[in-house]
Amino acid sequence: MGSSIIADRPQAHGYGILPPQEGKGLLDWSWATERLSGAHMYWIATTRPDSRPHVMPVWGVWLDDVFYFSSGRQSRKVRNLTTNAHCVVSIEDGTDCVIVEGEAKEVSPGPLHDAISGAYLAKYQTDLGELGEPIYAIHPRVAFGLQESDFVGSATRWRFSAAESR
């Protein structure tokens, strides 16, 4: 994805965010993917049909710059995603934060589905095939990262081209 990612500072008026060349500077996308790959737990925020927010922890895997997770088809989050696919995923770490915004799309059975199931099994010792529930992919449209130790000098926003964020 390298050349299709634009990194800059997020708009955070009143927080004293430094220009991109000051503080630690813009974080590299590899910094974010390392944290996304290494996280054990993630938070997913969805929107209910009546516009109220809903946030829940999920297990997931980060593969090839896409977040994948599984959940029961009748769960609140999946029912929310059925009516509004826009969602936000963040890692459990509040010190080195990574937040990804995108749209969730169900993954069809096939080689990709099998690869995700294998990654899940390796990470969580859980066989998604036995669960029989859907797997969802979230391609990032925009992502944010920051380090608590230098909030004003590390805050980074990555924007992805439409072709990459399907």
What are the structural domains, with CATH classification, of the chain? 30-156 (2.30.110.10)
User: What average pLDDT does range 76-102 have in this prediction?
Assistant: 97
Q: Looking at residue 129, what is its pLDDT? A: 84
pLDDT per residue as tens digits for the range 97-146: 999 999 999 999 999 999 999 999 999 999 988 888 999 999 999 999 99
Q: Looking at residue 44, what is its pLDDT? A: 98
Task: Say if CB 66 and CB 139 are below 8 A apart.
Answer: yes
Task: Return mean pLDDT, the chain.
Answer: 92
H helices of the chain, in order, are 29-38, 76-83, 111-124, 128-131, 151-154
Backbone angles phi, psi at 93, to 5 degrees: -80, 125
Element (H, E) at 145: strand 135-147
∠ CA(82), CA(59), CA(49), 5° rounding?
A: 20
| Residues found in the chain | 166
CA dihedral 79, 94, 7, 137 (to 10 degrees): -30
Reference 133, options 68, 85, 53; nearest CA is: 68
Adjacent-strand bridge partners of 101 = 88, 142
pLDDT bracket for residue 19 (50, 70, 90): confident
pLDDT bracket for residue 162 (50, 70, 90): low
pLDDT per residue as tens digits for the range 40-69: 999 999 999 999 999 999 999 999 999 999
pLDDT higher than threshold 50 for residue 1: no
pLDDT bracket for residue 13 (50, 70, 90): confident
Distance spanning both ends of the chain, measured CA to CA: 13
Q: Looking at residue 14, what is its pLDDT? A: 87
Residue of 59 and 3 predicted with greater confidence: 59
